[in-house]
Amino acid sequence: MSDEEQRGRGAASVHRVGGLLGDLQAADDQPVAPRRRADAERNRAQILAAAEQLFAQQDPRTVTMDKIAKAAGVGRATLYRSFPDPSSVAVALLDEHQRRRHGQLNKGPPPLGPGAPAGERLAAFYLAMLDLLERHLPLALGAETGPARFRTGAYGFWRVHVRTLLVDHGIQDPDPLIDIALSPLSPELYQFQRHELGLSTERVGRSLADFARQLLRSGE
């Protein structure tokens, strides 16, 4: 065989091997996206677990992205790919806990769910939200303080729910009353009542339930 023929066969061989390697590489590349998704989910879980501890252990206002990244054992770039600021981390954590409340309001048994008078449903809503605040106050303080409170998805959902109750009760102009009805559930107010005034959750709950029934008296 001539040198030229050998070179031609060698080139063809390299081409075939290159194609095979390309096929193998493409095959190996197929799981990359799932692996990356799994890595992202694992990092997110680490971030949320670490952040929940930080929010519980210190003043939520002092929690920084640097602290969260260090506690989670991830880089700042990894953290910022998922969350822009500490408040968004707190919102994500709180959403996990609030999701169950959504289902109870929409499909759960009365009085929290459909089927009870509007006043009783509002009273039950207050009690359910107080329970959420008592269990997860540090997260609520990290996610729902100041103007940020009104921009969270959860607050938007609560507004829709309370507006529905007001309309069902026959309130002619419900919109100005919605945020007044939700104001007792401010995390900052609850923190003041519980930890500075020393009021018990049960005492606050009884007063809010009475307030709800007076605001929306059954039969009026």
> Could you report the per-residue pLDDT of 53-67, keeping only the tens digit for each?
898 888 887 899 999
What's the pLDDT score for residue 35?
65
Tokens of 108: 């759960």
pLDDT band at 33 (very low <50, low <70, confident <90, very high): low
Tell me the whole-structure pTM to 2 decimals: 0.69
Contacts of 202 (CB under 8 A, 6+ apart): none
Give the DSSP letter string of 87-134.
HHHHHHHHHHHHHHHHHHHHHS-TTTSTTS-HHHHHHHHHHHHHHHHH
What is the tens place of the pLDDT at every residue in 171-182?
999 999 999 999
Q: Is the pLDDT of residue 202 over 60?
A: yes
Give yes or no for a contact between 51 and 61, defined as CB atoms under 8 angstroms apart: no
Our CA angle for 135, 140, 142, nearest 5°, is: 130
